[in-house]
């Protein structure tokens, strides 16, 4: 039993997800960017490490499209996989839980314990489905603000995340400047490109066109698994680089040596994507997938500031570490540089580095010495300044 990785001294060990609910009357509901309201709102979250007495060591970790509150450790000893950023969070790791108090908050609109389209709408007694209000990155951050208030943390040492998590980290620094000492934005953008929207839309179309989708009303009739799996397969291609795919699969065939000259999947890359799709259907809700991709597509930080990114960062007091990956074609480096340039023009403290890698967009989820070293050193100097 003691050989379970949860007992590794660098693991945060066995972890339980917590739930925080707000907006129950007489509390105010959450007012969304669309103007609609949401109440009550539950956020799933996990914490690792201990908040110090002066409350200066809290780090908020924000997840990407399909992420959950479960960023590190194991839920049980039967749990075969640790949390999604376990490589980076734990005693002695980059987000060193022997020094820092790490919080990972799920987003609203999701399907892993927070209020989303698969939650019961108190007004109707059935699942929201697509009656759920459209969620934006700003709404996600505003909901998390309630959680941080609830945890009574006046100022976060850092907010961080990759991809959609990076968008949230960026938004946190802009929406709540007084609460964010530093922001670590990885493989993200202040708005996604037309190409990114295009891929998201093809994914959504796959779901809409699954007959099981039934306008989002499928919770008692059977999920649109084919559509969701296809959406995931498409998205997964964008998370890898051409080179990585070539190295991983090449033109190799699965379970056979010769072409069968028919339409069965036989290339290894085909069966890999197929497997990714199936796996995803078992853990993710199709409606949530629609909401998450829409949140990413709608995100345009400068739109709230007269279409000028420079204005967006005027009042932020946060220090920034912005990191991009050379082979990331979903959130290419040029988009990170756009953020950095706007910050520099505002005279803000910002470190920017582009990590050379063939691993594509998902590189932030994988071990990388340079990523680890840079984040860890940045945190160290931020922590020194936070204590002053």
Partner 1 sequence: MEDLQSFQRIGYDLIINEIPEGSRVLDLGCGNGKLLEELQTTRQVDGYGVEISAEGVSMCLEKGLYCYQGDIDDGLADYRDNSFDYVILNQTLQHTKRPRFVLQEIMRICRNTIISFPNFGHYTMRLQLLLKGRMPKNSLLPYDWYNSPNIHLFTIEDFQDYCDMHSYPVRQELHFSVNSDSKSRIKGYRPNLLAEFGFFILDGKSFVSK
Contacts with partner 1 by CB under 8 A lie at: 319, 321, 337, 340-342, 344-345, 347, 349-356, 370, 373-374, 377-378, 380-381, 384
Which residue, 47 or 327, has its beta carbon nearer to partner 1? 327
275 is catalytic: no
Contacts 24+ apart (CB under 8 A), 195-199: 195/330, 196/238, 196/296, 196/297, 196/330, 196/331, 197/297, 199/234, 199/235, 199/238, 199/330
Which residue, 175 or 336, has its beta carbon nearer to partner 1? 336
Asked if 105 and 91 touch (Cβ cutoff 8 Å), the reply is no
Instruction: Compute the distance between CA of residue 306 and CA of residue 143 in angstroms, rounded to an integer.
Output: 24
Which residue, 184 or 292, has its beta carbon nearer to partner 1? 184
Q: Which residues contact 316 (CB under 8 A, 6 or more apart)?
A: 173, 174, 177, 180, 343, 346, 348
Asked if 328 and 228 touch (Cβ cutoff 8 Å), the reply is no
Q: Which of 328, 333, 336, 368 is catalytic?
A: 328
Query: Minimal distance in Å, beta carbon 349 to partner 1?
Result: 5
Provide the 8-state DSSP code for 252. Answer: P
C-alpha closest to that of 282 among 248, 330, 232: 232
Query: Minimal distance in Å, beta carbon 329 to partner 1?
Result: 19
Query: Minimal distance in Å, beta carbon 312 to partner 1?
Result: 14
328 is catalytic: yes
Residue 4, number of CB atoms within 10 A of its CB: 15
Provide the 8-state DSSP code for 244. Answer: H
Which residue, 10 or 344, has its beta carbon nearer to partner 1? 344
Burial annotation 340-365 (CB, 10 A radius, 16+ → b, else e): bebbbebebebbbeebebbbbbbbbb
Query: Minimal distance in Å, beta carbon 345 to partner 1?
Result: 4
Residue 79, number of CB atoms within 10 A of its CB: 16
C-alpha closest to that of 89 among 62, 119, 123, 55: 62
Which residue, 88 or 199, has its beta carbon nearer to partner 1? 88
304 is catalytic: no
Query: Minimal distance in Å, beta carbon 346 to partner 1?
Result: 9
Query: Minimal distance in Å, beta carbon 354 to partner 1?
Result: 6
187: alpha, beta or left? (left if phi > 0; alpha if psi -120 to 50): left
Say whether 57 sits in a helix, a strand or coil.
coil
Q: Which of 114, 163, 191, 318 is catalytic?
A: 163
Which residue, 72 or 188, has its beta carbon nearer to partner 1? 188
As annotated, the active-site residues are 163, 328, 361
């Amino acid at each position: 039993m003691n050989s379970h990785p949860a007992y590794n001294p660098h693991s945060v060990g066995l972890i339980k997800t917590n739930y925080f609910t707000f907006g129950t009357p007489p509390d105010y509901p959450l007012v969304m960017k669309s103007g609609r309201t949401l109440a009550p709102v539950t956020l799933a979250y996990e914490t690792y490490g201990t908040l110090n007495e002066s409350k200066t060591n809290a780090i908020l970790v924000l997840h990407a499209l399909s992420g959950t509150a479960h960023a590190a450790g194991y839920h049980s000893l039967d749990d075969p996989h640790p949390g999604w950023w376990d490589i980076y969070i734990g005693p002695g790791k980059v987000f060193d839980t022997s020094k820092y108090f790490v919080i990972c908050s799920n987003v609203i609109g999701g399907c892993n314990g927070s209020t989303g389209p698969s939650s019961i709408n108190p007004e109707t007694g059935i699942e929201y489905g697509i009656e759920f209000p459209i969620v934006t990155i700003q709404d996600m951050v505003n909901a998390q603000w309630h959680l941080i208030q609830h945890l009574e943390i006046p100022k976060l040492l850092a907010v961080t995340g990759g991809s959609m998590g990076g968008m949230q980290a960026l938004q946190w620094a802009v929406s709540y400047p007084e609460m964010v000492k530093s922001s670590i934005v990885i493989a993200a953008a202040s708005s996604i490109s037309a190409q990114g929207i295009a891929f998201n839309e093809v994914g959504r179309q796959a779901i809409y066109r699954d007959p099981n989708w039934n306008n989002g009303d499928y919770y008692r009739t059977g999920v649109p698994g084919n559509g969701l799996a296809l959406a995931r397969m498409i998205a997964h291609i964008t998370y890898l680089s051409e080179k990585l795919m070539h190295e991983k699969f090449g033109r190799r065939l699965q379970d056979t040596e010769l072409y069968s000259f028919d339409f069965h999947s036989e290339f290894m890359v085909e069966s890999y994507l197929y497997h990714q799709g199936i796996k995803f259907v078992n853990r993710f809700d199709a409606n949530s997938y629609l909401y998450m991709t829409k949140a990413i597509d709608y995100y345009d930080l400068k739109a709230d500031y007269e279409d000028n990114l420079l204005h967006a960062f005027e009042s932020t007091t946060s220090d920034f570490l912005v990191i991009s990956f050379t082979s990331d074609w979903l959130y290419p480096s040029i988009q990170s540089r756009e953020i950095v340039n706007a910050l520099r023009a505002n005279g803000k403290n910002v470190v920017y580095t582009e990590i050379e890698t063939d691993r594509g967009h998902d590189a932030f989820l994988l071990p990388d010495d340079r990523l680890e070293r840079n984040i860890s050193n940045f945190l160290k100097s931020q922590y020194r300044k936070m204590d002053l």
